[in-house]
Amino acid sequence: MNGILSKTEADSQAELSCPAPAKLNLFLHVVGRREDGYHLLQTVFRLVDFADQLHFGLRADGVIRLHTPTPGVTEEQDLCVRAAKLLQRESGTLWGVDIFLEKRIPMGGGLGGGSSDAATTLLALNRLWKLGWRRNQLLKLAPALGADVPVFVFGGNAFAEGIGEKLLPIALPPAWYLVLTPPVHVSTAQVFSSKELTRNTIPIKIPPFSTEQGHNDLEPVVCASYPEVARHLEWLRQLEGARMAAMTGSGACVFAEFATESRARAALGKVPYGMKGFVAQGLDRHPLYDFAEE
């Protein structure tokens, strides 16, 4: 097989272009630690419409090829490639794929970009390869690719427990976010291994609870080690009209929540020289939610 599709195959859907949305952690509590060293968490994931873009082209020769490698990331490490190979192996399909990635989500920012790329790859190839896998089948593959991958396959805003794999759907009010991107790369492993990190936050129960009552246990550790993160967060917290301001994940990105787009964009217009950011709308569902049946 040379990878060239027959006319019949080419007439079918042989290409897909799909978004890979970012996420925000509206709060993140560290409530304990397992014997294997993994931390036990509670968090609320909010999907937003700021996204990477992935393009997939069907191949008939079984080859999986990434045409847009990320600097510093080998093809074997790339989450899109790993997701495609994992699904190919577990499904037994003979199809392959050409992958093109347009990166917009900052790396190392706590926005889940790489995890979202992996989840979009699973969902898109489920359709492109006509596998017909259900969501729970794809969810079983997700943890092997990363702790944040399951929520993107899950396909909606979620209250998460365990190491992030226990997900419950949660309804969140409409919201717009001003997200700032400090020019630093935070080491997640370093933050979680810090002696200053508290690991005994009292678990909250769902329902009822309010995201505004939560906090990010990683935030003090990151702000102490990365003054730029602290400076960006301090600026957000002085904004009028913001419902909340916090760091997402293990940073470095920080965000403020607003009830309307106009308020979020007005705040973006006031961002001081040297700070960068963007406005994103909160989503209720992943754009590819219908790519897997329940």
Q: Which residues does the annotation place in the binding site for ATP?
A: 106-116
Among candidate residues 52, 78, 117, 148, the one labeled active-site is 148
- Which value, to the nearest 10 degrees, does the dihedral of the CA atoms of residues 252, 118, 140, 138 take? 140
CB under 8 Å to 113, separation ≥6 — which residues?
20, 22, 52, 103, 105, 106, 107
Sequential DSSP letters for the chain = --SPPPHHHHHS--EEEEEEEEEEEEEEEEEEE-TTSPEEEEEEEEEEEEEEEEEEEEESS--EEESSPPTT--TTT-HHHHHHHHHHHHHT---EEEEEEE--SPTTSSS-HHHHHHHHHHHHHHHHTT---BHHHHHHHGGGT-TTHHHHHHTB-EEEETTTTEEEE------EEEEE--S----HHHHHT-TT----PPPP-SSS--GGG--BTTHHHHHHH-HHHHHHHHHHHT-TT-SEEEE-TTSS-EEEEESSHHHHHHHHTTPPTT--EEEEEBPSB-TTGGGSB-
Among candidate residues 23, 52, 78, 117, the one labeled active-site is 23
Known binding positions: 106-116
Is 270 labeled as catalytic in the residue annotation? no
Is 85 labeled as catalytic in the residue annotation? no
**Which tokens belong to 143?**
């943890």
- Which value, to the nearest 10 degrees, does the dihedral of the CA atoms of residues 59, 18, 163, 142 take? -20
Active site residues: 23, 148
